[in-house]
Structure 1
Amino acid sequence: MSTYRFKLQALQYQCSKLLRWCLDLPNDEVDVTIADLTEHGVWFQGWMLPAEGASVRPFIRQSDSYHFFERAVNRDDVIQAVLGDSSSHHPERQCGFREQVIIEQGEWYFGAEVDGLPIDLIAAQVVGVFNVLHGKDGWLFLDNDTNRSVDQFTGKILLTEDVKSGWKHYFKNTALIAEQRKCPFALLIAPAKESVYSEKYPFVKADITAIDEVLGLLPPNYPLVYPVELLRRAAIRSFRITDTHWSPYGACVASCAVAEALGVGTKKLTQMFANDAYRLRKSGGDLGNKLFPRQAAEEAMLVGFSYRKFLCYDNGFENFGRILVLHHPGAIVQKVCLVFGSSSSYSMFDYLSRIFSEVIFIHTAGSIDESVIELIKPDYLIAQTNARFIVKAPETGYQLRNTMQEKLSQMPVDKRQAIYKASKSTSNASQLAYIKDLHEYLPTAAL
């Protein structure tokens, strides 16, 4: 569920009839949910003292709509601390207010009506925990994310020598892993949205960026798929306007590109997806849903096929440590494909599951756990990460069990038990031999 905070700014005002005031709640340190904003209401709490002979009414203003608070809460602390008087019989003892209010707009004002004249005291904005960057024509981009996407694009963040060394090590080891197992391999880096649609982005790309440095470290003939130009030239828009990820059609383009790199014929891929239908539908996305009110845009969504029909195992984890297994007997390649992927992989499942009859997905953002490779013995191997993650090199010595153990240890007992129960139930429903072993990656000792 999306969470939000309020960005509060005190406004300048002149009014001798308003003696003192304070808005205790809401503040800029407490998260609120969409349910708080639109269903339950946000708590407003504070106090207000007029000069002698004046009348005041606190309010919240949303556009031209005013909601007035009744000063009816005893605030002995205010009378004693601010006025230095005894509160027992003070006429302004009930100077406080406390009430829940539904927030209907992304901007609102707190103020006071003083002798009938409204005065705005605080301007407030509803913002996501991660700020959203507004581009041109309603396009949204990541702003203050942990990977500092803006600084990467503008060249303020480049690779450290340690990270460069990590990438060299990764390139060398993944090529060796594929060679030793005689397994076609490709690394897919999902380009940043701003790299594909830079004309919509409010910043100018630097001459040298972190992703440029990664590309410059590639060994000869390394099987990297970085489909910036393919996505830019796609027949249907390849990224979603209000989401960080590529659109369903963009996922199709990427899936075909990585499949071709693995040796699957272009003609087969073209025939498989030639009759796919897309329908425009309003969608908020991971960026639009962070805004309040929620921002949505029309997106071309795939209709007539869903990989979920062929999902036969899901261990129930969120993000890192998640395992999914898809089995589609009608795929064009009757082989097993193992994907060590990230968030961009999920929208590829509708396409990968029709290319390879068995797709095993492990959420590692491109890091490789060789024990899983030994268990699955895949016919094809894909590593997938996102361009904004490349300021830290993925690993080839990744330990899936350790990730699961750490995440399970931080979960409440009931959630751990629910994951284990649901995962075991799903695994029993499949005949694929390795699923039972994948289920055993769940560290039962943590349950």
Structure 2
Amino acid sequence: MSSSSFAERIEQAPELVVEAEDRLAQQDFAGAIALLEPAFQAGVDSPELVAALIKAYEGAGDSAKREMTMAVALEKTAESPLKLRIAYAEAAMTRKDWPAAIERWQSIIDRDEPFPPQIYLRQARALLAAEQFAEALRVVNLALEKQPGNTTLADLKNVIASHKAKKFQLAAHKLAAPIAIRWEVDEGQKQITNLESFRHYRIRGWVDARQDQRPELIASTHAGTDTLGLTAVEPSAPYQEAGWMFEHTFDLSRGLTLGVRLEGGKAYECLRFSLAPVMEVIEGREGWLFLANDTNASIDQFTGKRLLTDDETHQWHRFSAELAPLQQQRSLLFLIANSKEKVRPEYYPFEKADITTTEQVSAILQQAEVDYANPVAAMQAVSDSYYQTDTHWSGRGAYLAFVACMRYFGLDDDFDSLYDFEQRELVGDLGSKIDPPAKSLSTAAVFQEKSGVACRFSNHLPGTGNITIFENSRPRYTRTLLIFGGSSSNAGGFALLFAHIFQRVVVINLPGSYVQEIVDHEAADYVILQTNERYLATPGRILQTLDDANLDGALRGISASERIKLLERMNRYAPCEPYHSFMTALLAPSEAVST
């Protein structure tokens, strides 16, 4: 195209756009494209022309040209409109190109501060679809920091967490072939575990082929086929005859077929691995959902099939003997967050045994004269203390546990006047395990006065080792509460109920444990050791220092890049010692696991 004709097109561009807009209004998309496309291809890329052409392609149903036009426009224009970049990311979402969508959402996050909070939501959905569960949780947590009361985000977090924790069982099927492959997994590996564990699964095996057949191992996955080496094995114990051995790490997340190719090119499929989802939810009466096949064997605990072993009984006696003198030194309460089936047995499809783990532990605590709270009767007396689609107590249930603790601490305020309760529809950690996710009504406790609560510090660790500190500029009591607990410490806003009352509340995710160093540092007026009822088979630990908690294990599998992001989030808070230094050392890149 000559320079004069290009100049003419630039000059005519505003008129073309006006005429194209008229045709778009008449839904003459082909006509609008015929007007605009030549100018765009000639290099005319004014925002108005590009927007009109994208709209024309969209109306004509030509998604490929629409996305291509957006890509060209974004490449040419450094300061492209946010609306265009969002549309470009949504185009990748529409065609389910999750890696492209994730990258495009991230470019918006990197460039457009502040940006609409929904950007985090969309990126988290793309990460979920791409099965990048840890990263999806990180992103949705960032969104919840900006919108802590957003139930859509809370529901999505539950769905992501359920996908991350979802368990699968590994099965191997021998195929009809003249050559056999025998196999075993590395010691310590589980054949029932989450999907992430199966992405890097080590298999040791043997091929029953003669030395002169010189076989090769063929591994076929969704990503393609690889040829792997074999090591010749001489006929000696424990192998009774000659053969070939291998030991390799495979991605079993979408299945694996192992085969053998003999010298000369003859190939056979011999062994196929597949994953079957393990049922994690059972439905009781009237649509109530309960946990199933969990590592704590909650059904067997309820029915009395799973009782304390001799070793576990000994551990509980030792723990209680250590806890009793600590309780004499300060106001300390051991709190059991009840299992849902204990609170709502009328909906549970199994019969409770007279003696369960809970009764055994209670007897040991009583014998050691340890004060503890098991608020099951209070929970049973209130219909909305738990809800259909979650294992944890609701806001109402959390409030009942809160009142039980406050009464134990000798605080007899009229707490009922401070809190009101609202109904909210939530997915919950059980509803999120169903496809599509199931929702039910839950109660939320709402503080009725002006709150001075702010998050002073968080290390943002998921699960064990999480440290969150709340400070209150308008406390009723200028005192400090320390909670060593598990997931129920946050469920229903349990910790926040105290944060509205006390000046400082420190919550550390170490269920039922006690760390002397932290108690001393905080000069804690009150201490709660909280554990979930289904964890009662194993007592907590009485530790001297936070180092003794061995949180390295909680960080296993967190990559170097994820650790850096955790440090970045933690560093948004002013340093809060000793927690900041402890976590900085723990998350140091030199200690990190590479991606």
Sort the TM-score into its range (normalised by shorter chain): 0.5 to 0.7
CA contact (8 A) 2:389 2:440 kept: yes
What is the match of residue 317 of structure 2?
168
Q: 1:329 to 1:172 in 2, by over 3 A?
A: farther
CA contact (8 A) 1:409 1:446 kept: no
Q: CA deviation at 1:130?
A: 5.3
Could you tell which deviates more after superposition, 301-310 or 168-177? 301-310
Structure 2: give runs of 5+ residues left out of the alignment: 1-159, 170-191, 197-221, 225-275, 589-595
Correspondence 1:369 to 2:518 = no
What is the match of residue 440 of structure 1?
581
What is the match of residue 441 of structure 2?
298
Q: 1:324 to 1:144 in 2, by over 3 A?
A: same
Report the count of equivalent residues.
332
Matches within 5 A, 1:343-382: 343-347=487-491, 348-382=494-528
Q: Distance in 2 between matches of 1:313 and 1:443?
A: 13
Q: CA deviation at 1:406?
A: 3.3
Q: 1:443 to 1:176 in 2, by over 3 A?
A: farther
From the CA coordinates, give the structure whose radius of gyration is larger: 2
Q: Distance in 1 between matches of 2:405 and 2:434?
A: 34
What is the match of residue 405 of structure 2?
258
User: Looking at both structures, which has the greater relative contact order when contacts are Cα pairs under 8 Å and sequence separation is at least 6?
Assistant: 1
Matches within 5 A, 1:149-168: 149-168=298-317
What is the match of residue 93 of structure 1?
none
Q: 1:296 to 1:163 in 2, by over 3 A?
A: same
Correspondence 1:333 to 2:477 = yes
What secondary structure does 2:573 align onto?
Answer: helix
Matches within 5 A, 1:18-417: 31=195, 131-180=280-329, 183-217=330-364, 218-219=366-367, 221-234=369-382, 236-265=383-412, 267-273=413-419, 276-279=420-423, 281-303=424-446, 310-347=454-491, 348-397=494-543, 400-401=546-547, 402-408=549-555, 410-417=557-564
Cα-to-partner distance string for 1:32-90 (whole Å, 9 max, x where unaligned) = 9xxxxxxxxxx9x9xxxxxxxxxxxxxxxxxxxxxxxxxxxxxxxxxxxxxxxxxxxxx
CA contact (8 A) 2:421 2:443 kept: no
What secondary structure does 1:440 align onto?
Answer: helix
- The two structures have a TM-score, normalised by structure 1, of 0.67
Q: CA deviation at 1:414?
A: 1.4
Cα-to-partner distance string for 1:216-251 (whole Å, 9 max, x where unaligned) = 1123653201000001112x5101211000011100
RMSD between aligned alpha carbons? 3.4
Q: CA deviation at 1:205?
A: 0.2
Q: Distance in 2 between matches of 1:231 and 1:5?
A: 30
What is the match of residue 40 of structure 2?
none
- The two structures have a TM-score, normalised by structure 2, of 0.51
Structure with the higher fraction of residues in strand conformation: 1
Tell me which stretches of 4 or more aligned residues in structure 1 moved more than 4 Å: 4-7, 28-32, 303-309
CA contact (8 A) 1:341 1:361 kept: yes
Q: Distance in 2 between matches of 1:390 and 1:165?
A: 13
The code of the aligned residue for 2:581 comes to: E
Q: CA deviation at 1:445?
A: 6.1
Q: Distance in 1 between matches of 2:528 and 2:350?
A: 32
Cα-to-partner distance string for 1:357-406 (whole Å, 9 max, x where unaligned) = 21000000011111111221111111000010001111112753353333
The code of the aligned residue for 1:228 comes to: V
Q: Distance in 1 between matches of 2:552 and 2:581?
A: 12
Cα-to-partner distance string for 1:250-291 (whole Å, 9 max, x where unaligned) = 0000011011112211x3433333xx1313x22111011011
Identity of aligned pairs, percent? 29
Q: Distance in 2 between matches of 1:272 and 1:30?
A: 42
Q: CA deviation at 1:175?
A: 2.4
CA contact (8 A) 2:418 2:447 kept: no
Structure with the higher fraction of residues in helix conformation: 2
